[in-house]
A = this chain, B = another copy of it.
Amino acid sequence: MDSVPTAVQPIAFETDPSRYRHWKLAFDGAVARLSMDVREDAPLAGDYRLKLNSYDLGVDIELADAIQRIRFEHPEVHTVVIASAKDRVFCAGANIFMLSGASHGFKVNFCKFTNETRLAMEEASRHSGIKFLAAVNGVCAGGGYELALACDEILLVDDGSSAVSLPETPLLGVLPGTGGLTRIVDKRKVRRDLADVFSTVAEGVKGKRAVEWRLVDAVYPKSRFDEEVNARAKALAAQSDRPDAGTGLVLGRLNPTVTDDRIEYSSVTLAIDRARRTAELTLQAPGQPQPDTPDAILEAGDQYWPLRAFRELDDAILRLRVNEPEIGTIVVRATGDPQAVMNVDRTLAAHQEHWLVREIVLFIGRTLKRLDLTSRSFFALIEPGNAFAGTLFELALACDRSYMLDDPERPNAIALSDMNRGAYRMSNGLSRLDVRFLGEPGNAEAVLARDDAFDARAALEAGLVSFAPDDLDWDDEVRMAIEERAALSPDALTGMEANLRFAGPETLETKIFGRLTAWQNWIFQRPNAVGERGALKTYGREGRPEFDWRRC
């Protein structure tokens, strides 16, 4: 990354246990223990200190990496205990001084990433046979409690002082925005009046009352705490359908070639045009035959195309979000042999029950959701030589629009596979085809029933693409669409896309990103939080915050 000559050092999202500074990862049979041990003097950037296991993006990047590696590299792990290596401190939450010094955009992206990490834990619990247990040994405040809330169960030490708390509203004038408010009433189903009290008392709730209010699952005296945590971890592990032994695959480094305006991976390229504030994101279909059994996939390891390509895509999206805020419009292409993608899809569909294939499919799904949740405009361009088939066609479905060239002289087609049936669900719980055809129920089944590929006219007719200009119109129409998009208010587009992309039902996940995040982003703009005398700015300094008391 050091070849990038931008003013602010770009943030890299890749790490591995040998480089962790803030977490300790230990394995004991079916139970992994992930212990937070934040180094005060190792912030990601800036001069704040990470006291009391408070976290910044650097800490969370390691957490996300650890969970990802447990899923892929340790099939024998069935329970993850989220713990602390510090005495009487679990986690004090997101670091306030980091937050109060961060730009609005950075705050928003920090919260988005930490939310995705926690939702990935819940997804692993629901679909991967990995349960999470929070062993809360002391101070558990704000984002610390939100991390615990993302676990299946929360055990709290009963020592007369250790409490769980969401002190954001009383102390900082902001929300517990990493899912906290949503998870207490929607996941743990804390009664709304008790949730109201809990969210306004800075000291939180401890002991039996924490159990009675459903804020934690159990409390134990210090003398029995470790023993109870271990027993519960083993009991949770026994429910898993993961293998009891065997090896996983190792997630190696991606090693992209990074220059000022281009990130090049093996199957993904992100090319940036700063003058136009656009980028071209291209995925390349596999160029070589891919393994077609779980054993062969295990042998291919992290070089197996779908895993490698989507890890690259994931990394590219994260860099784009945080390091390239001004690049607002992304042109998405898929190139290469669509048949190669269809072959991969057949393997994925046939072996979805195998733990490793399941992990790969879930990971592709998470990456596609990362794209759904990225506040940039995505336009798919489908041209001759495209590989928008099956899994790669999900990319086109995730885009805000798609343009497909209709030129009888140059064949151009797209295709669907069984992997478009619902293997990759949006955060609202529906497949992208089902969301697309909410108004025409039955259409999703109809297009999936078709065996052969769709040329541009068939795709347009079936509602699979937005427009199908002919070769006379193509260049102008596409160019103008991109130019016009890039000229619109970036904020209005962010709000517009957040509303249009998620039609249909809402889930815990969409509530966190829609309702909770949208309100938090509003508060993050308000002088009562971020003004000179706002609560977030005055925290830890002399003097009290000053509020404009008008409610709105």
Residues of B within 8 A of A440 (CB): 189
- The number of chain A residues with a CB under 8 A from chain B is 93
The answer on a CB contact under 8 Å between B518 and A326 is: no
- Contact pattern, A 82-122, Cβ under 8 Å of B = 1, otherwise 0: 00000000000000000000011100110000000000000
* Interface assignment of A295: CB less than 8 Å from any CB of chain B: no
* Interface assignment of A70: CB less than 8 Å from any CB of chain B: no
> Complex Cα distance A359/B102, Å?
52
Given contacts A400-B196, A523-B492, are A438 and B185 in contact (CB under 8 A)? yes
> Complex Cα distance A328/B170, Å?
15
Residues of B within 8 A of A503 (CB): 185-186, 189, 192
Residues of B within 8 A of A437 (CB): 191
Given contacts A105-B551, A515-B518, are A492 and B326 in contact (CB under 8 A)? no
> Complex Cα distance A137/B551, Å?
39
Given contacts A105-B551, A185-B499, A186-B503, are A492 and B173 in contact (CB under 8 A)? yes
Considering only residues 481-518 of chain A, those with a C-beta below 8 Å from chain B are: 484-485, 488-506, 510-511, 514-516, 518
Shortest beta-carbon distance, A490 to chain B, in Å? 5
* Other-chain residue from B489, B515, B551 in contact with A547 (beta carbon distance below 8 A): B489
The answer on a CB contact under 8 Å between A214 and B169 is: no
* Other-chain residue from B169, B376, B500 in contact with A196 (beta carbon distance below 8 A): B500
Of A35-43, A224-232, A417-425, A524-532, the one with at least 4 CB within 8 A of chain B = A524-532
The answer on a CB contact under 8 Å between B168 and A199 is: no
Q: Which residue of B lies closest to A435 (CB)?
A: B192
Residues of B within 8 A of A491 (CB): 173, 522-523, 526, 528-529
The answer on a CB contact under 8 Å between B528 and A515 is: no
The answer on a CB contact under 8 Å between B175 and A439 is: no
> Complex Cα distance A503/B196, Å?
12
Residues of B within 8 A of A252 (CB): none
Considering only residues 365-405 of chain A, those with a C-beta below 8 Å from chain B are: 375-376, 399-402
Considering only residues 438-488 of chain A, those with a C-beta below 8 Å from chain B are: 438-440, 463, 466, 484-485, 488
Considering only residues 166-218 of chain A, those with a C-beta below 8 Å from chain B are: 168-170, 172-175, 181-182, 184-186, 188-197, 199-200, 214
Shortest beta-carbon distance, A315 to chain B, in Å? 19
Q: Which residue of B lies closest to A195 (CB)?
A: B500
> Complex Cα distance A439/B217, Å?
13
> Complex Cα distance A181/B493, Å?
12
* Interface assignment of A545: CB less than 8 Å from any CB of chain B: yes
Q: Which residue of B lies closest to A438 (CB)?
A: B189
Q: Which residue of B lies closest to A502 (CB)?
A: B515
* Interface assignment of A27: CB less than 8 Å from any CB of chain B: no
* Interface assignment of A353: CB less than 8 Å from any CB of chain B: no
Residues of B within 8 A of A375 (CB): 551-552
> Complex Cα distance A181/B427, Å?
19
The answer on a CB contact under 8 Å between A185 and B496 is: no
> Complex Cα distance A375/B173, Å?
15
